[in-house]
Structure 1
Amino acid sequence: MAIGEEIGNARKRQGLTQEELSMKLPISRESISKYEKGGRSVPKDMRKHIAEGIDDTELYFATWNEAAGVVSIPFFNGEHIDQHPASMKHLVQFETNEALEQLERLSWVKPIHTRTDREKEEVKQAIVEVLDAAASMINLVAVLCREHKFSMKQIFKAWRSSLKVRRYSK
């Protein structure tokens, strides 16, 4: 789906008109309309402002994917996903347990240059399992934010501040 269409869908999910969104941003209603219809491409420097102005969980995933490509976490909305918070919690538990089991199978003391091709494949599989667990957790955050009408932007701001306080990041 094109980013303009994603913006339109997110705006509607949040109950915003194009006019209301334009009042939050340095963009005219006409420009927003053109972005959503695909008549004009969304400038890269405006995407962050638009995503924050709408503050929609699914749009954050879409803009992250567009910015980072394959190095991003997708929004889980496939046919086998139940986005009820309890179902997502169970998915997190399942994926986390799989990741931990895979990590337990790895040798953490063997030097990297001595690993066999099979052992390297096991490391790749462990990475995939960890990504599954991380993605399920971030999707649970999104679902909880949406369900409780929390701003995902504000939750992430507070979390990033807590990382600095705990000296996990600079």
Structure 2
Amino acid sequence: MAVSGKVVHYDANRGFGFLAPESGGADVFLHINDIDIDEADLKPGAKVSFDVEETDRGAKAINVAVTEAAPADESSGGRPHRRDDHGGRDRDRDHGRRDDHGRRDDRPRRPRGGGGGSLDAAGFTDEVTELLLDADDDLTARQIVEIRRRITDFAVARGWVLD
């Protein structure tokens, strides 16, 4: 049975992303091996129809078709993938900043773009998704979806993120 939804995230560098069913519920994992369409059409906000297949690693989308292109403001105004920000994944890089004495400085950073502005829940969820994807290649789609849902709910409940 075909499900309608939207593209939440798709990373062409890694060949996977997530689709949000229109009816609600957990996002569905999408892998490049399960699509027969142009990846360039899988921009956040694009409307899609797809079938859901349950696997031992969670739900995944198959038979994906783009039914409406992403709105221009959502697809062109987004930030680049983190992979583009730092030239690729490097497990040996030092994620922490250092203070004047060479000690690790793990204080939270201000959001990119300056001004310390707040993110909405969707933007925050995108940021968390990128962090989880960069953190560990062994996380399953189900784990990523559950972790980011809990973190976003936590941040919204505390007023750190606009709902």
Superposed pair shares fold, TM > 0.5: no
The structure that is helix-richer by fraction is 1
TM-score (norm 2): 0.37
The structure that is strand-richer by fraction is 2
TM-score (norm 1): 0.36
Structure with bigger gyration radius: 1
